Chains A and B, each alone.
Chain A
């Protein structure tokens, strides 16, 4: 192997502030390197600096040598670096929806990268070649795809187009910046497989930036861990994942795998980072063991039978559900069932003779997209869904985007009107009740949203935010309740008079949770509540939700696209696909013995650390 790229001492400055503090990075020919870090770690900046695409206000210093070029990549200047971009070094970006020019057919955009770098044969031939390239990335009917505009393609298809462009001139180095983060797991799996195949075929080296350790375990030979603009640890995948040297790497591995400590609580970065008490060291040890299994599997040695047993997932999942302290008697698990073939209505998670807290029956939501001329199109977001949730259950709903899971939540919480069916909470009907008459529902069921940025009004003080659901309560009591509930979510009373922007993402999500529990609801509905958080924060928020559920006796309805998170959080899970629940049952049973083919595909596609070798 010869070295393709040698970066040493890369620093990036924004005015007086230094964002990258001297990064060293080496990439061999044909090697696949994973660049791992949470938001703000500088992983994207590193790629942009190498591409010469840093925003104008930022300045890069240091050295970056690409084999075969005499000049330093960092000092090339726009024109010289443009000649390398797309020819020797290519890049695929995170957001497929906005990365393509919306006004041009994608075929022309692919042809452009050919002609830019002197494709022999002219424009017509370039266009023909672009159809071949689109065929190569597995787009059905590549001729039609070439004529399509970006908005006519799905996210996964657009990312395939991006990949076709990036690989068009068989570059020596492909830089990928979280290229699958915005995609569904099954689509992600296919795009990753395609990328691996393309890179392998043309001998291209890959630098893959991600926060997702599961993907890296699956794809890369070597990993580099970044934190706050500096390299924390670097080495071959096996070594780093099985014997991490740096405490941050250890904790990152632990929180990514949603590892738990002896008491069944999720390990958080704080626990591991401090590294002093006994409880912490048990966490680290058990995590280390789990990681060994995962990494061995990832390295290709198919550990049979032993792996599931040693991974922390199994033993500790039970611990969360059953042995958590202070928890009332766990509700009886429901049956494990799959959607019957006939369209006969089936009520999931139903136990005879039990009065459920939430009973959803034949719920349907059809959106009519009106055409002012011509026929309206009907979009069936939720199709005849029936299930029950008993008090004290933690009911998870997993599904990909468009599966109808978010619509289901909104119907249950009365934020959207069902087309047909019934939603009963505590025996009272939600469907068809005008919003004015839903006061009881607002006291019974509350919701936590995905985006901790968007769910708090930037112009409201925290005290006003968290007491918004309180009606008819005096000013003094409001403040007292606000302070109380903030304390419950682990925030100081000084937060009351601050504004949302003064808090981090994780803290904001705590505030959103505080708002949801301030009325002491029976049912807490969470819509992708941890999906936009960094993994290190994710564990803390999940612990908090679990604690609150115990303390307040909450029933959880937890929606997520992330199977691992649902597995950790919920005792029962329903899998949604195309507006229906296709399978439902106790979480472990569903994950380990999926009955429905879609569930099986979903579980297999998830690039979790555990699933890495599967």
Chain B
């Protein structure tokens, strides 16, 4: 068990390191001179050279990478081209916001997926099951930002129940925080919930064909009892495996949703830095997002090991 955990941690660290090289190369090797871009066309070569030196761009690529890795480790994440300040604190703030949003979205998704997936599986082949399944099919076809726009139109523009956008940190008032969280979380969770619901439904349908479900019923359980006691648990195993991908999807979905609701998360930060062509900031945000994706996958892996005894022994 411990070995398994350690091994997954090792793989995680290795993957993260390789990913950091990819992020660095992706943004460093591309054509264009950030110094020139910042100073404009009328800057003298001397000025450009000075700025290049200041930004560390005159060093070799491996040296730049090591320097950047050091900045990652210390949390400064590099010096912004535009503000000339470490981007770390800003990125961390944005990350907190995004993670809260993702968490809320996940809760909404789970609340939607569990009952609908279960019902669609149990009532499969009947009218209500088919209708539910159809509804989730439509659900996964709607982009989350479109769902966001529609929610805003109805609940903010028409009904004035909730704000159409903006963000209040939890420390500045839980009420305001929740009011601003509801619509973006719904927008995120509705779509992801539909996806999860379909996974759950098909996993449950698969599980119902398993021999041990027949055994359970042969022991004296009704169809429903067997599903509740043995089916659901086993169906969750494949669902857990896709949750990693789903969480990554949620994170990326949050990036877009933040634009719809003007939320100062990683997405907004990324868009702003892209617009400013502030490559250091882009690099930092991308690296953080990638790390988060990897970390979420690691978490899911570990949960998977906990759920499935067959994986517990390190082999």
Contacts and interface: CB of A to CB of B under 8 A. Distances in A.
B161 interface: no
Nearest to A82: B222
B219 A371 contact: no
Interface in B171-230: 210-212, 214-223, 225, 229-230
Nearest to A370: B315
Nearest to A369: B315
Contacts of B215: 93, 99-101, 162, 165
B212 A102 contact: yes
A51 interface: yes
Interface string A223-260: 00000000000000000000000000000000000000
Given A371-B315, A373-B3, A374-B3, A85 B210 contact: no
B220 A149 contact: no
Contact of A165 (B219, B233, B310): B219
Nearest to A90: B218
A101 B214 CA distance: 10
B309 A102 contact: yes
Contacts of A112: 219, 229
A374 B2 CA distance: 12
Interface residues of A, number: 36
A91 interface: yes
B314 A102 contact: no
B214 A53 contact: yes
B220 A82 contact: yes
B299 interface: no
B225 A151 contact: no
Interface string B112-137: 00000000000001000000000000
Contacts of A104: 230, 233
Interface string A342-377: 000000000000000000000000000101111000
Contacts of B212: 98-102
A87 B220 CA distance: 7
A151 B222 contact: no
B129 to A, nearest CB: 13
Contacts of A93: 211, 214-215, 218
A117 interface: yes
A461 B214 CA distance: 37
A413 to B, nearest CB: 29
Interface string A474-517: 00000000000000000000000000000000000000000000
B221 A116 contact: yes
Interface residues of B, number: 29
Contacts of B214: 53, 93, 99
Contact of A99 (B211, B308, B314, B315): B211
B160 interface: no
A113 interface: yes
Interface in B266-315: 307-310, 314-315
Interface string A93-121: 10100111111100000001100110000
Given A100-B212, A371-B314, A373-B7, A86 B219 contact: yes
Nearest to A165: B219
B307 A103 contact: yes
A592 interface: no
B207 to A, nearest CB: 10
A79 interface: yes
B27 interface: no
B302 to A, nearest CB: 16
B169 to A, nearest CB: 41
A69 interface: no
Interface in A545-567: none
Nearest to A175: B218
A100 to B, nearest CB: 6
Contacts of A372: 7
B211 A98 contact: yes
B221 A82 contact: yes
22 contacts: A53-B218, A78-B222, A85-B218, A85-B220, A86-B220, A91-B218, A98-B212, A99-B212, A99-B214, A101-B212, A101-B215, A101-B230, A101-B234, A103-B307, A104-B233, A116-B221, A117-B220, A151-B310, A165-B219, A371-B314, A373-B314, A374-B314
Interface of B: 3, 6-7, 125, 210-212, 214-223, 225, 229-230, 233-234, 237, 307-310, 314-315
